[in-house]
Amino acid sequence: MRGATLFSLLPLLSFLPGALAGHGLPRKIYGVNLGSWLVVEPWMLPQEWLNMGGENNCDCTKCIGSEFALTQANPATADKIFEGHWSSWFNQTDVDELVAAGINTVRIPLGYWIVEDLVDRDTEFFPRGGLRHLRRGLKALKKAGIVVILDHHALPGAQAVKQQFAGRCVIEPQFYTAYNYHRALVWTSVMTALSHVDPVFDNVVSIQAVNEIIMDSSKTPGYGDFQKNFVQTVRATEFLLGVAGFSTFGAVPAPHDGNFTAMIPNVGDGFFNAEVRTSLLEAFPILLKMGVFGLSRRREQLITRCALCGSFSMRADSVRASFMDVSWQWNNPPNPADAALGPQAYDNHLYYVFGGVADANEEAYMKHICNLDRVRSDAALGNSPLFFGEWGLPTQFSATDAFLMKWADAQKLQYSKGAGWIFWNFKVEKSKLAGDMAREWSYLEGVRRGYFTKDPAQYHDENVCVPYLNGASSSASATATSAASSTAAASTTAAATSTAASSTTAAASSTASS
């Protein structure tokens, strides 16, 4: 096997009992994002951001409009400032509400700086201490039976232009370089290892490579190679941990002294490339520093059956690699399906509020969403299972409560044709400064107002799309109404759509496929 390539093993892997089976994805995802928790997006909490020392309604490349800028402006107190936010924005009360709302999955946006050793403290400014809060949240979610997608939301160098979600607002993104691709791979190895050796991470089912890359693929050089290296880094880390069938090949002999670093060079001999091996070598001392392997010699040992884990339990299956789907980019993009080795999933984000999808009226919105063909068209390109990892209720017009109820039903119906959906966001700030932003951006508020059914698998009107399907008669379209329309909450009134800056690129709306 020494002369084989990793990808040549795919036919063999498919015959291994339980090999690369993937862990714990719900049969249908009903989820929310924990946005603005460990990657703060100031537009979502304008009053708290001011209280933290930030600035609003400004060019975020020139003001305190991102985590980077706030930390740079407050080097002595930033850790304490963010500690207060992390503790209050997501806690047990929120977990209890998610359980009551029937949520089975959360997507947690993370910055690369949660692995603190990856930050160049001379030139990069981010708060420290987030990993402890991630572990706190994972523990509570695990107890509640909610599974987790760890989303690499903010990448080294920033992967998007003038976006708060990247952690740093830049005019020219610097992620698409060899240096920052490499740092992202080290992050990937650390997170993969934690997902297998730290029991708090037991409910992590997927690691997402990059959130919302630039949509023009001509501006993301090297991204196709990064996709393949990302998957190889996940699987190489699992290989060394004896996870999911790789060790059955015996391609990596048990080292003489049980030393992890002695094993890594052997992994690459005909299997994983030098970039992947180097990423693992750099990840291991970070993991030791985190203390996940303990301090005793026995816990520092790593053999293919994972004797290193000591008191840690060992999951016997692979985490699922996930990517933005191939349809997210244009201009001859690389297909993440070509990188697949083991369980994989694909994510698309769709917002209508930024324009470019449908005309700004109820009829056009409903016709477009009800005839959306993204799940089928992505599957034809190998991008399946597909989930919709971000979407919301905001519109370009002043939507009535009756329409928002219908709009919620229609989007849920369409996104459930795939693996499921994850709403952006679980909550947003309620304050005078935030106005009524929660009405359309907060899932929990949507449940309270009756836009969403209390059981996410149910609908107010499961036939909501029938009048809008291509070929539907004009008379049927004119007479059919959503059953939900007459039951809209009387205590609420129509309000203008929030004009807050989105957590996603404005261009995201153009990813719609009809």
The full 3-state SS of 285-354, as one line of letters, equals HHHHHHCCCCCCHHHHECCCCCHHHCCCCCCCCCCEEEEECHHHCECCCCCHHHHCCCCEEEEEEECCCC
Q: Residues 81, 82, 88, 92: is their CA dihedral positive or negative?
A: negative
- Contact predicate 395/37, CB 8 Å: no
Helix (H, G, I), strand (E, B) or coil at 154: strand
Q: Note the pLDDT of residue 293.
A: 61
Nearest Cα residue to 409 out of 368, 465, 481: 465
CA distance 510 to 378: 15
* Domains recognised in the chain with CATH numbers: 7-347+421-449 (3.20.20)
Q: Note the pLDDT of residue 1.
A: 29
CA distances from residue 267 to 4, 240, 260, 499 in whole angstroms, order as listed: 12, 8, 11, 51
Nearest Cα residue to 180 out of 154, 216, 199: 154
Cα distance between the two ends of the chain: 46
Tens digit of pLDDT at every position of the chain (514 positions):
233 333 333 332 322 223 333 457 899 999 999 999 999 999 999 999 999 999 999 999 999 999 999 999 999 999 999 999 999 999 999 999 999 999 999 999 999 999 999 999 999 999 999 999 999 999 999 999 999 999 999 999 999 999 999 999 999 999 999 999 999 999 999 999 999 989 999 999 999 999 999 999 999 999 999 999 999 999 999 888 877 544 433 444 433 334 555 556 555 556 788 999 999 999 999 998 988 765 333 233 333 333 334 334 445 588 999 999 999 999 999 999 999 999 999 999 999 999 989 999 999 999 999 999 999 999 999 999 999 999 999 999 999 999 999 999 999 999 999 999 999 999 999 999 999 999 999 999 999 999 999 999 999 999 999 999 987 644 444 334 333 333 333 333 333 333 343 443 333 333 333 3
Q: Note the pLDDT of residue 337.
A: 98
Q: Note the pLDDT of residue 23.
A: 57
Helices (H), 42-129: 46-52, 67-73, 78-89, 92-100
Q: Which are the contacts of 116, defined by CB distance < 8 A and separation ≥ 6?
A: 128, 131
- Contact predicate 445/427, CB 8 Å: yes
CA distance 152 to 160: 13
Helix (H, G, I), strand (E, B) or coil at 46: helix
Q: How far is CA 303 from the centre of its chain?
A: 31
- Contact predicate 246/316, CB 8 Å: no
Q: Note the pLDDT of residue 242.
A: 76
Q: What are phi and psi of 238, to 5 degrees?
A: -65, -35
State the pTM of this model.
Answer: 0.85
CA distance 482 to 407: 10
